[in-house]
């Protein structure tokens, strides 16, 4: 179980960081969400992985960590989930507004957006050109 | 139990809720303003009372919900927290005054956001639990997003998105560090951590150090230390004036957290004693040089002010990283001064911007400026104070700091760094003042077309006279003058605060001594 959880945290973090470093707001938001999942799992694992034990005290059961799981990380995770969830909503609204206002969601703004469009157009034209060439060759 | 500490958090919370219900579209703006000022007055009274109590050297511990400290959350008030609380609120009062000149009408829910922001600041300064510190960081960040973005559009939205994304990433790192610390040490109380770090088994030590390092990275991101400083000039330049002025305290929150965690949790004689200070010293010095270059290169008054805020945070990093009671004490005085003076410059930039028509606050454009006497004089006072010239507070702060630098190999370099960057900032400020306030007409013999867009003063639309905005700037500069007049008691207080920070075990003792009163249900 430890290995599965640890690799899940690792993969989520790696994917989150990769997406966070991209230039478009949608990727960044997705990256932040993945990162927050990884963090939640990490905090949860901070209370040790124990199966089948309750976090609340019961009458007749000794009140120690041999018979219970640590409840504090679960409370911390709950706080973290709520905050991350709300922040994702805020960022999405903000990203949509920013894109509508500035006509671009590129991190470097308008100039980078124009450059990106020109490059894409050139690439399409080139692809169309080679496709035409291929068709002519075939014909 | 003495309930004063929790009042500093509850009052703005209730005021924010009230301000949310008294929507200004329905009830007009007056009820909101009454609530905001009543809350501000109450908070200032609480902060003053706390400072009086803390000045006796006592560490006040407040157990929230009367849970014992190892189970629940404890608020702790020492000299440092009381000082930060007071500085934050005094700054907040001036920003509120500025916003009441009209911005609170344009930005929906301004007062609610503002009160939440103050709640987050107060909570961050008072809490003694590191997860609770995270929660209050979030409270103050979320309300700062609201303050910065509401009523804005266009470029401000793009800058805002960057600011939000950066801070969420930093908060995520904060959580990672907290998860590691709890998993390794089993406690999140700052004073308790001091003991647990010392007792941690040797094989865990590297991981504890990594977690502590992550924590410092997060705080340095908030305080805009060198590799993580890029968000600051952009954000502060695009924020509305009253909000940018309030943000002058936000970098100081990061610095406060560095100082608190660095001295309390990882400061006790143990394996991690002072492990981060050399790195912070070097990075602080580099940031200071960069900020001075930024001041020289800034093309707008607002970005110049942003680089000055960056420079003051960097100076504080240098002061705190030297980790002597003298330098920390001088740093705390400088912290209060730089918050007030930096904020005043943001407010001034707004006054200038609205007088110059289309030229705004850009200093590379020659533009006329009607009624420039008052802003000019205010700029002079702010610039003298920020550059560290006598007789104002910046001079005293830097002088005491330089005197406290320990004699040794580094002394010469630190003196050179602080004085050299002060000189560069002085040049930058002088150039800005000359261009904005003196060069208000085009050169008679300039090449034709060079000043094509020049609009003479008579043709500029009259700037709305808003005496409250000038009053807010005056108030901030007045704090600086008061800090000069009361320099001796203030410096005694900050020196005592720094000495208190060197004794982390006193905090543990006080915390252990605070026992909940067991009551019959």
Residues above pLDDT 70, as percent of chain B: 96
Tens of pLDDT, residues B112-151: 999 999 999 999 999 999 999 999 999 999 999 988 888 7
Tens of pLDDT, residues B314-339: 999 999 998 888 999 999 999 999 99
pLDDT at residue B490 tops 70: yes
Tokens of B273: 């004693």
Q: Assess contact for B456 and B360: CB atoms under 8 A.
A: no
pLDDT of residue B451: 67
Sign of CA dihedral A92, A98, A104, A110: negative
Average pLDDT over residues A60-74: 82
pLDDT of residue B452: 66
> Does residue B161 belong to the interface with chain A, where contact is any CB pair within 8 Å?
yes
Nearest residue in chain A measured CA to CA from B184? A46
- B521: confidence class by pLDDT, cuts 50, 70, 90: low
A105 or B310, greater pLDDT: B310
CA angle in degrees (0–180, nearest 5) for B509-B510-B512:
65
Average pLDDT over residues B272-292: 90
Tens of pLDDT, residues B449-485: 666 667 776 777 766 668 888 999 999 999 999 999 9
Cα–Cα distance for residue pair A46/B181, rounded to 1 Å: 8
Neighboring chain B residues of A25 at a CB cutoff of 8 Å: 161, 165
pLDDT of residue B331: 94
Q: Assess contact for B90 and B23: CB atoms under 8 A.
A: no
pLDDT of residue A100: 87
Neighboring chain A residues of B182 at a CB cutoff of 8 Å: 43, 46-47, 72-73, 76
pLDDT at residue B81 tops 90: yes
Choose the closest CB to A39 out of B154, B158, B172: B172
ipTM for the complex shown: 0.87
Sign of CA dihedral B54, B56, B58, B62: negative
Sole residue written with tokens 């692809």: A127
Domain boundaries, chain B: 1-273+501-521, 276-441+465-485
pLDDT of residue A67: 82
The residues near A137 (Cβ < 8 Å, ≥ 6 apart) are none
Cα–Cα distance for residue pair A93/A99, rounded to 1 Å: 10
pLDDT of residue B520: 54
pLDDT at residue B358 tops 80: no
Tens of pLDDT, residues B25-79: 788 888 889 999 999 999 999 999 999 999 998 888 888 888 887 778 899 999 9
Q: Would you call A32 and B169 a contact, using CB atoms and an 8 Å cutoff?
A: yes
Sign of CA dihedral A48, A51, A55, A57: negative
Count, residues in chain B: 521
Q: Would you call B154 and A83 a contact, using CB atoms and an 8 Å cutoff?
A: no
pLDDT at residue B445 tops 80: no
Q: Would you call A90 and B172 a contact, using CB atoms and an 8 Å cutoff?
A: no
pLDDT of residue B464: 67
Domains of chain A: 2-107 (1.10.287)
- State the CB neighbour count (10 A cutoff) for residue B420: 13
pLDDT of residue B410: 86
Neighboring chain B residues of A20 at a CB cutoff of 8 Å: 165, 169
pLDDT at residue B390 tops 90: no
Q: Would you call A90 and B142 a contact, using CB atoms and an 8 Å cutoff?
A: yes
Backbone angles phi, psi at B502, to 5 degrees: -75, -5
Nearest residue in chain B measured CA to CA from A34? B172
């Amino acid at each position: 179980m430890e290995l599965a959880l640890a690799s899940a945290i690792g993969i989520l973090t790696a994917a989150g960081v990769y997406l966070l470093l991209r230039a478009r707001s949608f990727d960044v938001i997705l990256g932040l969400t993945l990162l927050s999942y990884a963090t939640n799992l990490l905090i949860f694992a901070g209370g040790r992985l124990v199966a089948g034990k309750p976090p609340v005290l019961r009458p007749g059961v000794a009140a120690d960590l041999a018979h219970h799981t640590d409840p504090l990380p679960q409370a911390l995770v709950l706080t973290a989930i709520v905050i991350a969830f709300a922040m994702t909503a805020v960022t999405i609204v903000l990203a949509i507004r920013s894109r509508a206002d500035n006509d671009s969601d590129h991190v470097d703004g308008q100039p980078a957006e124009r450059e990106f469009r020109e490059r894409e157009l050139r690439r399409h034209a080139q692809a169309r050109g080679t496709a035409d060439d291929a068709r002519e060759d075939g014909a | 139990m003495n309930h004063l500490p929790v009042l500093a958090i509850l009052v703005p919370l209730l005021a924010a809720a009230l301000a949310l219900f008294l929507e200004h579209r329905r009830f007009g703006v007056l009820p909101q303003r009454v609530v905001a000022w009543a809350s501000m007055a109450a908070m200032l009274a609480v902060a003053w009372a706390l400072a009086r109590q803390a000045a006796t050297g006592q560490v006040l511990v407040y157990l929230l919900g009367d849970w014992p400290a190892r189970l629940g959350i404890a608020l702790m008030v020492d000299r440092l927290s009381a000082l930060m609380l007071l500085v934050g609120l005094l700054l907040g009062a001036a920003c509120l005054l500025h916003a009441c000149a009209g911005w609170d009408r344009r930005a929906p829910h301004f007062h609610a956001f503002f009160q939440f922001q103050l709640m987050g600041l107060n909570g961050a300064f008072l809490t003694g639990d590191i997860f609770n510190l995270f929660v209050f960081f979030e409270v103050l960040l979320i309300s700062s997003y609201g303050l910065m973005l509401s009523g804005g559009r266009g470029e401000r939205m793009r800058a805002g998105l960057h600011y939000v994304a950066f801070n969420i990433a930093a908060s995520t790192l904060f959580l990672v560090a907290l998860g590691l610390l709890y998993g390794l040490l089993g406690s999140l109380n700052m004073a308790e951590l001091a003991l647990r770090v010392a007792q941690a088994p040797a094989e865990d030590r590297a991981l504890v150090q990594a977690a502590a390092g992550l924590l410092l990275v997060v705080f340095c991101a908030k305080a805009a230390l060198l590799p993580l400083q890029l968000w600051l000039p952009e954000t502060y330049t695009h924020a509305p004036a009253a909000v940018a002025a309030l943000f002058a305290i936000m970098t100081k929150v990061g610095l406060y957290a560095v100082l608190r965690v660095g001295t309390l949790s990882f400061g006790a004689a143990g394996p991690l004693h002072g492990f981060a200070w050399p790195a912070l010293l070097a990075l602080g010095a580099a940031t200071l040089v960069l900020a001075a270059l930024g001041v020289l290169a800034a093309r707008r008054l607002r970005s110049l002010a942003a680089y000055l805020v960056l420079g003051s945070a960097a100076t504080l990093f240098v002061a705190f990283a030297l980790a002597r009671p003298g330098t920390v004490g001088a740093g705390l005085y400088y912290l209060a001064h730089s918050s007030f003076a930096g904020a005043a410059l943001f407010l001034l930039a707004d006054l200038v911007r609205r007088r110059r028509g289309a030229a705004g606050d850009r200093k590379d454009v020659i533009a006329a400026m009607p009624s420039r006497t008052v802003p000019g004089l205010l700029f002079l006072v702010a610039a003298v104070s920020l550059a560290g010239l006598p007789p104002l507070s910046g001079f005293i702060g830097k002088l005491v700091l330089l005197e406290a630098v320990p004699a040794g190999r580094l002394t010469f370099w630190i003196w050179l760094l602080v004085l050299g960057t002060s000189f560069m900032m002085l040049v930058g400020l002088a150039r800005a003042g000359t261009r904005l306030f003196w060069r208000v007409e085009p050169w008679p013999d300039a090449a034709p077309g060079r000043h094509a867009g020049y609009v003479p003063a008579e043709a500029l639309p009259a700037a709305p006279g808003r005496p409250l905005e000038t009053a807010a700037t005056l108030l901030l500069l007045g704090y600086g003058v008061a800090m000069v007049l009361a320099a001796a008691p203030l410096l005694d207080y900050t020196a005592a605060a720094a000495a208190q920070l060197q004794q982390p075990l006193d905090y543990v003792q006080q915390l252990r001594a605070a026992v909940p009163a067991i009551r019959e249900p």
